[in-house]
């Protein structure tokens, strides 16, 4: 089986290769060839995968090799142009951009929640936004049990979500050196409520993604959801303060039990010992960490959660590779 990684030299692409190399989800005996793909300026560069050198190739060469799976992390415009080209030669595309997520006939997948809807005829599969993935993983078991009526979420998003240049901007500011800027304001020793671009209603595209993608993944357009996205000067992962109102009454013991027994979730909730999720300790991990679990005493049937995950791993690379593994394990390619 040949796997192409499109955007292999980027921040998310490099993590995709790392997760593949670890072999936790797709074993090496199922992979015959890795095809690293990038823009023309990177063609010919050498990367190493499983201690073997591989030359970076361009898009056309990758399509000609007809990989079984192509995992994209190269931006929406690239995905719109080339994902259908891969699909035409029989490749199943797993796309990490926002290009296909809200298309009616394109599945939007978090494997622990809705991989069962995938079919062999799905040649383009969308990977959700990083903030959406970690939130819905925590929400899904609670929604099944009690029915979610409304969600209010504020995110505290790592600079890694913007890419390598954003990380470098923060490092430059911290070191007191000049360099390229990708944010409209300093990010070190600062934060700002701005993720994506502002829309006519005053919300940003990142906030709108959280609303629309959550409804699609949970399969319920009636869920009321509002979001505020904040960029913060950390690199370990994204954090979210999530307030959830349910249709049904619940006992707090049931909330703890459901979250603790859900695949992909680790509950860290011992506040008397200062144990709660933090991005510093989520970095490099594939799990979603949930803590500060408490009843909202201001309204009925409501709770507060604090949700943290490495946005480059479960929020992007790991989720995409888990989708690939599901396709292979269930003979859908």
- Tens digit of each residue's pLDDT (9 = 90 or more) over 12-50: 999 999 999 999 999 878 888 999 999 989 999 999 998
131-311 has the same fold as 2-128+316-329: no
Task: Please tell me the distance from the alpha carbon of residue 322 to that of residue 133, in angstroms, as a whole number.
Answer: 13
| Over residues 85-102, mean pLDDT | 97
Task: Count Cβ atoms within 10 A of the Cβ of residue 230 and give its class: 0-12 exposed, 13-18 middle, 19 or more buried.
Answer: middle
Residue 130 annotated as catalytic: yes
Short-list 243, 235, 83, CA closest to 151: 243
Q: Where are the domains of the chain?
A: 2-128+316-329, 131-311
Residue 151 has pLDDT above 90, yes or no: yes
Catalytic residue among 48, 143, 185, 238: 238
Q: Let me know if domain 131-311 sits in CATH 2.60.120.10.
A: no
pLDDT tier for residue 235 given thresholds of 50, 70 and 90? very high
| 71 close to 6: Cβ distance less than 8 angstroms | yes
Span 224-238, mean pLDDT?
97
Distance CA 213, CA 202 (A): 19
pLDDT of residue 82: 97
Catalytic residue among 48, 130, 143, 194: 130
- Rg over alpha carbons for the chain, rounded to the nearest Å, is 20
48 noted as active-site residue: no
In this prediction, residue 27 carries a pLDDT of 84
pLDDT score for 154? 98
- For residue 80, which phi and psi values (nearest 5 degrees)? -60, -40
Task: Provide the pLDDT confidence category of residue 221 given band limits of 50, 70 and 90.
Answer: very high
The domain 2-128+316-329 is placed in CATH, from the list 3.40.50.300, 1.20.120.140, 3.40.50.720, 3.40.50.1010, at: 3.40.50.720
User: Dihedral of CA 172/176/181/184: which sign?
Assistant: positive
Tens of pLDDT along 178-213? 999 999 999 999 999 999 999 999 999 999 999 999
Q: What is the pLDDT of residues 250-285, one digit of tens each?
A: 999 999 999 999 999 999 999 999 999 999 999 999
Run of H or E including 282: helix 279-282
Q: What is the mean pLDDT of residues 127-149?
A: 98
CA 84 vs CA 70, 81, 139: distances in Å: 11, 7, 32
Average pLDDT over residues 92-102: 97
Q: In what order do the strands lie in the sheet with 92-95?
A: 33-37, 2-6, 69-72, 92-95, 124-126
């Amino acid at each position: 089986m040949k796997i192409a990684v499109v955007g292999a030299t980027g921040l998310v692409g490099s993590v995709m290769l790392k997760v593949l190399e670890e072999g936790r989800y797709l074993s090496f005996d199922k992979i015959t060839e890795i095809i690293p793909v990038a823009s023309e300026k990177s063609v010919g560069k050498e990367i190493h995968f499983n201690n073997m050198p591989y030359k970076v190739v361009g898009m056309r060469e990758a399509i000609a090799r007809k990989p079984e799976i192509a995992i994209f992390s190269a931006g929406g415009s690239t995905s719109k142009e080339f994902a259908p080209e891969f699909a035409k030669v029989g490749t199943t595309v797993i796309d990490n951009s926002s290009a296909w997520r809200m298309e009616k006939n394109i599945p939007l997948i978090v494997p622990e929640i809705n991989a069962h809807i995938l079919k062999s005829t799905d040649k383009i599969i969308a990977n959700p936004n990083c903030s959406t993935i970690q939130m819905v993983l925590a929400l899904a078991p609670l929604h099944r049990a009690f029915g979610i009526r409304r969600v209010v979420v504020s995110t505290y998003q790592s600079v890694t979500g913007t890419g390598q240049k954003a990380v470098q901007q923060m490092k430059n500011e911290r070191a007191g050196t000049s360099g390229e800027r990708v944010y409209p304001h300093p990010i070190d020793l600062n934060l700002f409520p701005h993720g994506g671009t502002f829309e006519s209603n005053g919300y940003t595209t990142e906030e709108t993604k959280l609303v629309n993608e959550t409804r699609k993944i949970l399969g319920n357009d009636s869920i009321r959801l509002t979001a505020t996205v904040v960029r913060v000067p950390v690199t370990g992962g994204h954090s979210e303060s999530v307030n959830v109102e349910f249709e049904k009454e619940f006992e707090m013991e049931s909330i703890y039990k459901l979250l603790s027994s859900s695949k992909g979730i680790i509950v860290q909730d011992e506040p008397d010992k200062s144990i709660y999720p933090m991005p510093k300790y989520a970095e490099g991990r594939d799990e979603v960490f949930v803590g500060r679990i408490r009843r909202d005493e201001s309204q009925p049937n409501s709770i507060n959660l604090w949700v943290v995950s490495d946005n480059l791993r479960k929020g992007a690379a790991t989720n995409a590779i888990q989708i690939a593994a599901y396709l292979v394990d269930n003979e859908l390619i």
